[in-house]
Amino acid sequence: MKNVVLVVEDDAVNRKILINILSKEYCVIEAENGYEALQIMDLHPGKVDAVILDLVMPVMDGFEFLTQCGRSEKHRDIPVIVTTGAGEPEHESRCLELGAWDFIRKPYHSKIIRYRLRNVLERSRLQISKQLQHLESYDSLTGLYRRERFQLETRKMLDRYSQRKFALVRLDISKFHLINSFFGIAKGDKILKKIAGMLKEYFQNKQYVVYGRMRADVFAVCMEYDNRRELEEMAELFRNEMRQMILEFDMIPVFGFYLISDYRIEVNDMYDYAKMASKKCKGSYVQNFAYYQDAMRQDLIKEQRIVNMTRPALEQEKFILYIQPKYDIQGNCIAGGEVLVRWRETDRGMISPGEFIPVFERNGFIMQLDYYVWEHSCRLLRGWLDKGYTPMPISVNVSRVSVYNPNLVDLICSLVDSYGIPLDLFQLELTESAYTTNPYLIRETMKKLQDHGFTILMDDFGSGYSSLNVLKDIAVDVLKIDMKFMEEAEIPGRSENILASVVNMAQRLEMPVIAEGVEKKSQVDFLKGIGCEYVQGFYFAKPMPSDEYEQLAFCAG
């Protein structure tokens, strides 16, 4: 197929001369000025292979044409040969500055025109080839190696320096998809470029290292290391820096380390081992790195099985609501309940929440499960109200992941309104650890929910190290304390005194306290004695299906 050459010349005679010189080897099209030429190029993007351009023309001259081409991503790489008269060095200088590739002088010399046109087309082909090679090897967003090039360069390095100690490191961002969902793809891309910049800066003085972007928010590094501490310090440094990128989102980089022992195995397998390690610590707010161990393979298989079952389970409503009653121990009567979720699979029976909740928190599915539970809880309350019952409040859990949804308040308000549920019957529980991960965001979100009329419960109060600060700064209406707090005390009597003090403090703040995990009469007696109002636990009732709770709460006697 012939190359297409666009001749831009207002003089019909000169156009005819150029067409006669070039038409045997090229497909020649013509334009009388720069404006007409740009219209042709815009209408047929990618069709024109080269331009022969006169400078002095009406409507749009050659200088303006070059300027417009330079501003256009579609046109700036098309080679342009400018026709000039003798003794015009200032014109040539300006044209080169604007992006011209070469010059031919009038009067035209046919052989020189053909040679120069052939040369610029060959240069253009080489440039396109290099660009394609670059695109194949380098990620267009970050400028880092793409996956295939990363593996190739890593293989070369390991083969050449097999006497050195190397680690394969996988880095990704916990719940990065939420950043794209909540803040937009442009913001997500900006963060990925910042991470690429951090990698370049961190390794700029390292000799034996290869790094690249594998996909989306996933990066990989093969680096020489002296000891584990060096790797862990890198993970800590990245975590500290990335926390500052979005104040409204606790962005956690997750590192998986595979300490390479056998350099003969495929680089892709090494990467998979690092990936298994990173999955081990996803969802952890304490440690953001993990090392590969052989036992992780079986864990990964189990997790993948759960992931594969998730979507059908949601569609078939295999997630069912259980309710654990809360009791008023001073009045010895039911005071409401906490909604819990169970997964009933026909071939496996019940799947423990301890088995599937961590997986859902890691892959982000927990948000859909949250909404499922909230909506089914609203259905329960609506059903009880329609039956003429006077239900006590029930509380639902809000996961750490859902808290990051900027539309959370509108989502919950809209859901409760759609079922016509009085706000005092639909309470919200968050664990204390959720409060400590991003206090600013939690404070704002919980305050909005309180302003709408929702009751906020802090679950696992006292399990963290900043409980009093959290209580001081964040909107909370009810405290929940697990009785395991008492079992873990090393000094006899101290936990009882602390618990009594917490209840006393809460009473002064006019905040009810619910003690969870109450299993013994002695615990009930102690809680009554210190003025605790409410309890939850096996001593009174285990979590039960919603229909059993309905019988207990509304049909007793």
Of 488 and 455, which is predicted with more confidence?
Answer: 455
Distances (CA, A) of 17 to 48, 89, 111, 112, 120: 20, 24, 13, 14, 20
CA 126 to chain centre: 38
Tell me the whole-structure pTM to 2 decimals.
0.58
**In this model, does residue 198 exceed pLDDT 90?**
yes
Q: What are phi and psi of 255, to 5 degrees?
A: -110, 130
Please state which of the four CATH numbers 3.40.50.1980, 3.10.310.40, 3.20.20.450, 3.30.1360.10 is assigned to the domain occupying 303-550.
3.20.20.450
* pLDDT score, position 116: 87
Amino acid at 263: Y
* pLDDT score, position 194: 94
**In this model, does residue 361 exceed pLDDT 90?**
no
Judged on CB neighbours under 10 Å (0-12, 13-18, 19+), 19 is middle
Contact 4, 46 (CB under 8 A): no
Q: How would residue 509 be classed by pLDDT, with cut points 50, 70 and 90?
A: confident
* pLDDT score, position 466: 47
Peptide bond before residue 107 is cis, with ω within 30 degrees of 0: yes
Q: What is the mean pLDDT of the chain?
A: 87
Share of the chain above pLDDT 90, in %: 40
Instruction: Identify any residues that bridge with 545 across adjacent strands, giving them in sequence order.
Output: 322
- What secondary structure does DSSP assign to 396-418, as a single string? EE--HHHHT-TTHHHHHHHHHHH
Q: What are phi and psi of 288, to 5 degrees?
A: -105, 25
Give the least confident one: 386-390, 398-402, 486-490, 520-524. Answer: 486-490
As a whole number of angstroms, the distance between CA 371 and CA 369 comes to 5
The CATH superfamily assigned to 4-136 is Response regulator (3.40.50.2300)
Contact 415, 381 (CB under 8 A): no
Collapsed DSSP state (helix, strand, coil) of residue 122: helix
**In this model, does residue 465 exceed pLDDT 50?**
no
* pLDDT score, position 436: 63
Positive or negative torsion for Cα 330, 335, 339, 340: positive
Mean pLDDT for the stretch of residues 45-72: 88
Tokens of 180: 């794209």
* pLDDT score, position 45: 82
Distant-in-sequence, close-in-space partners of 24: CB < 8 Å, separation ≥ 6: none
* pLDDT score, position 385: 96
CB neighbour burial string for 220-256, b if at least 16 within 10 angstroms, e if fewer: bbbbebeeeeebbebbeebbeebeebbeebbbbbbbb
Distances (CA, A) of 274 to 220, 255, 256, 456: 9, 8, 5, 40
Tokens of 524: 């009930």
Collapsed DSSP state (helix, strand, coil) of residue 200: helix
Q: How would residue 518 be classed by pLDDT, with cut points 50, 70 and 90?
A: very high
Q: Give percent helix, percent strand, percent coil of the chain, each to the nearest 5.
A: 50, 20, 30
Quote the Cα angle for 484-485-488, to 5°.
85
Collapsed DSSP state (helix, strand, coil) of residue 206: coil
173-182, 260-269, 354-363, 438-447: which is most confident: 260-269
Q: What is the DSSP letter of 263?
A: T
Distant-in-sequence, close-in-space partners of 99: CB < 8 Å, separation ≥ 6: 66, 69, 70, 76, 80
Q: What are phi and psi of 420, to 5 degrees?
A: 65, 40
Give the least confident one: 297-311, 359-373, 540-554. Answer: 297-311
Tokens of 529: 């004695």
* pLDDT score, position 131: 66
Which helix (DSSP H) or strand (DSSP E) does residue 342 occupy?
strand 333-345
* pLDDT score, position 296: 77
**In this model, does residue 472 exceed pLDDT 90?**
no
Quote the Cα angle for 52-55-56, to 5°.
130
Segments making up each domain of the chain, as ranges: 4-136, 147-293, 303-550
Mean pLDDT for the stretch of residues 452-478: 76
* pLDDT score, position 89: 78
Please state which of the four CATH numbers 3.30.1490.440, 3.30.70.270, 3.30.460.10, 1.10.10.1100 is assigned to the domain occupying 147-293.
3.30.70.270
Contact 540, 516 (CB under 8 A): no
Give the least confident one: 27-41, 266-280, 346-360. Answer: 346-360
Contact 502, 490 (CB under 8 A): no
Distant-in-sequence, close-in-space partners of 533: CB < 8 Å, separation ≥ 6: 328, 329, 330, 512, 513, 514
As a whole number of angstroms, the distance between CA 44 and CA 47 comes to 6
Q: What is the DSSP letter of 138?
A: B
Judged on CB neighbours under 10 Å (0-12, 13-18, 19+), 491 is exposed
As a whole number of angstroms, the distance between CA 470 and CA 150 comes to 45
**In this model, does residue 102 exceed pLDDT 90?**
no
Distant-in-sequence, close-in-space partners of 299: CB < 8 Å, separation ≥ 6: 276, 279, 280
Of 26 and 362, which is predicted with more confidence?
Answer: 26
Which helix (DSSP H) or strand (DSSP E) does residue 315 occupy?
helix 296-315
Pairing of strands 80-84, 253-259: unpaired
**Strands, DSSP E only, in 208-252?**
209-215, 218-224
The pLDDT tens digits for 113-168 are 888 888 888 888 877 766 666 667 888 899 999 999 999 999 999 999 989 999 99
As a whole number of angstroms, the distance between CA 373 and CA 367 comes to 10
